[in-house]
Structure 1
Amino acid sequence: MSAIKNIRNAAIAYKTLNGLLCVYKPACVSLQQLQNTVITNLCRDLNALPDRPLEKRVEIQGPTNDAMTVKLVTNYADDPLVCGPRYIKEDFRCSWATHLGLFSSGVLLLGINDGTKLTYLINTARLTRAYKVHGQLGKATDTYFWNGKTVEKSSFGHVTREKIDKVIAHMQAAHQKTMFEMSGLHMESQTMFDLASQGLIRPASNKLPVIYGIKCVHFNSPNFTLEIQATNEYDKYLWTLIHDLGVQLKTSAYCTGVQCIRQGKFDLKLALLRKHWQLQYIIQNMDKCRSIMEENSLLLKPKSASLAL
């Protein structure tokens, strides 16, 4: 709470609320709801802090044909009971760096006030994100998610951990091969080697999902969990991957949950839970996010190669 000890009043606290915030988004909570909750909590906590002294007004008293006295008296027009709370939602600007679907949970980066500029930079930099995607074998739905209508049921007793590992290895290889092929360069050329040696190859378009890695981290039939690293992804695309995995395993599968566990250098350890969406924790979290960005000066401007996919 060291950051809070230096705050003498609400005005000083408000000036510190300019930066990046890492929170944990619960499932079935929209980004608009989360944004509204964070801003509402900030307004509540700021208004609870000691405020600046009330303004005074000049009052001239006495008869006009005699010596008059000038006094400073309380200006009730400046009283919060008259003019309303000092801080309201309209005093804040808030935006998110990348979108998380309604049914997805996990790490979410928010920009508060001047931090909205950082969220724009993060969005254009297209940092890789890591997910834990949970699935279940034996059933397929029309949306590929658990809340969809069941369209197919099938047996899954023949599916083993080894078969899942084999299929997802082929899926990862296919994604990486397509990524290189769409560069327009020969796979065995020196130019392609130089391009790949620069680091992760990011697509020039922000609409084309690219998967860098897939692995199975849990299997207890019929439930399983995949860890996926990707960029430009979205929730329905991840649902589709689970469905495609079921097809290649000669059964059916649907997604039961999506959790973002990391975005760039920001992970679950840094993300604030809902109970910590309060002024003191938010200020501390902003300081930690600022330190991470200073330590990784290339975080927003990666030198990795780009492909015009």
Structure 2
Amino acid sequence: MVNFRNAAAAYKSLNGLICVYKPPCVPIKQVQHTIKTNLCRDLNELPDRPREQRVEIVGATNEPMTVKLVPNYADDPLVCGPRYIHEDIRCSWATHLGLFSSGVLLLGINEGTKLTYLINTSRLTRAYKIQGQFGKATDTYFWNGKTVERAAYGHVTREKIDAVVAHMQAAHQKAMYELSGLHMESQATYEMASEGLIRPANSKLPVIYGIKCVHFESPNFTLEVQAVNEYDKYLWTLVHDLGMQLRTSAHCTGVQCIRQGKFDLDVALLRKHWQLEHIVDNMDRCRRILEEHQNLMKPESARLSM
């Protein structure tokens, strides 16, 4: 754990990327607000710079006067307020996580906001665990929506789920190559695939790179999905489509982001660790990850695109 001599040294170290675990039903803006509040609190508790002094001349004007230094009360935190406030700390996210989603969230602090912009434009793949439940469909495809359909699910087996998700993955991969104008068995396609994942040219077009069922205990199941340009409603729709293809109905009960690029759950700070010392340590850990994988944030123009 890092020990700081004073608040000024601690503040200067707050420039970089951090990885936190966003709880479900907590907006990203509230995560930002909590982190800023905790950082300001911890900074203000550290030893501060010496209080400014002012020159005071005392004595009668017709006699020799005395010049002395006295504390400047205008510089007292009790008068001017805390040294560090929210406006002193900049914080931005790399990619958005919806209100009901939880998991890995990358945030940039102060100069680290530049890194979040690079990550956003690099469009790193993210991995999710998506929980679903058979037997009911809602108007929002999520558990909090209005029930619009109920169906039997006793015929659904693990083998049938695996077959459907394999078909869904193949369909997404085929569409990905078709939109790129390449033939699946051509040399150009092989060379593009060997150099890395193909990113869609449109940043709003979701692409699924992998999908599989990792847990099934009827009526509940869990899918693991690797995607780019995804968003909450799109992931909920995958669960709904799976239910339709299995001749039943299904809705999503939870979404957890377990990895973004090389940042996984092991790196993410829990809410109880959103404190200055842990944040600075995590910032250093994220910096080492970025240095080990220098091509992680390669400019989009240098990437292969569709």
TM-score by length of 2: 0.97
Partners in 1 of 2:183 and 2:161 — Cα distance? 31
Secondary structure at the aligned position of 1:202 is classed as coil
1:151 maps to 2:148? yes
Q: Which amino acid aligns with 1:306?
A: S
- Tell me, in whole angstroms, the C-alpha distance in 2 between the residues paired with 1:151 and 1:93: 44
Which one of the candidate residues 110, 116, 139 is aligned to 2:107?
A: 110
Which of 215, 237, 240 pairs up with 1:240?
237
| Other-structure match for 1:188 | 185
Matched, 1:197 2:194: yes
Q: Does 1:17 align with 2:14?
A: yes
1:299 is paired with a residue whose SS is helix
Question: Which residue of 291, 296, 303 corresponds with 2:288?
Answer: 291
Cα distance in 1 between the residues matched to 2:33 and 2:145:
28
Paired position in structure 1 for 2:49:
52
RMSD: 1.0
The residue aligned with 1:97 is 94
Over residues 135-171 of structure 1, what are the superposed CA-to-partner deviations in whole Å (9 max), with x where a residue is unaligned? 0001100000000000000000000000000000000
Letter in 2 for 1:270: V
The answer to whether structure 1 residue 30 and structure 2 residue 22 are counterparts is no
**Distance in 1 (alpha carbons) for counterparts of 2:84 and 2:122:** 33
Kindly report structure 1 stretches of 4+ aligned residues shifted beyond 4 Å: none
Q: Indicate the SS of the match to 2:251.
A: strand
Give the secondary structure class of the aligned counterpart of 2:68: strand
Task: State the alpha-carbon separation in 1 of the partners of residues 182 and 162 from structure 2.
Answer: 30
Pair 1:85-2:77 in alignment? no
Q: Which amino acid aligns with 1:74?
A: P
SS for the counterpart of 2:97 is coil
Query: What CA distance in whole angstroms lies between the structure 1 residues aligned with 2:269 and 2:185?
Result: 46
Secondary structure class of the residue paired with 2:297: coil
Query: Does the CA-based 8 Å contact 1:144-1:254 persist in structure 2?
Result: yes
What amino acid is aligned across from residue 305 of structure 2 in structure 1? Answer: S
Distance 1:196 1:22 in 2: 29
Kept in 2, the 8 Å contact 1:54–1:78? The answer is: yes
* Structure 2: distance between partners of 1:95 and 1:28: 19
Could you tell me how far apart the structure 1 residues matched to 2:188 and 2:212 are?
A: 29
| Cα drift, residue 196 of structure 1 | 1.9
Q: How far does residue 304 in structure 1 lie from its aligned partner after superposition?
A: 4.7
Letter of the structure 2 residue corresponding to residue 305 of structure 1: L
Q: Which runs of no fewer than 5 residues in structure 2 stay unpaired?
A: none
Secondary structure class of the residue paired with 1:148: coil
Q: Distance in 2 between matches of 1:144 and 1:226?
A: 15
Tell me how far apart the structure 1 counterparts of residues 61 and 25 of structure 2 sit (CA, whole Å). Answer: 69
Question: Contact conserved, 1:198 with 1:304, CA < 8 A, in 2?
Answer: no
Which string of whole-angstrom CA distances, capped at 9 and with x for unpartnered residues, describes residues 4-52 of structure 1?
x2x1111111111111011000000001111101101111111111111
Q: Which residue of 2 aligns with 1:166?
A: 163
Question: 1:64 offset after TM fit, Å?
Answer: 2.5
When structure 1 is superposed on structure 2, of 298-307 and 258-267 the one drifting more is 298-307
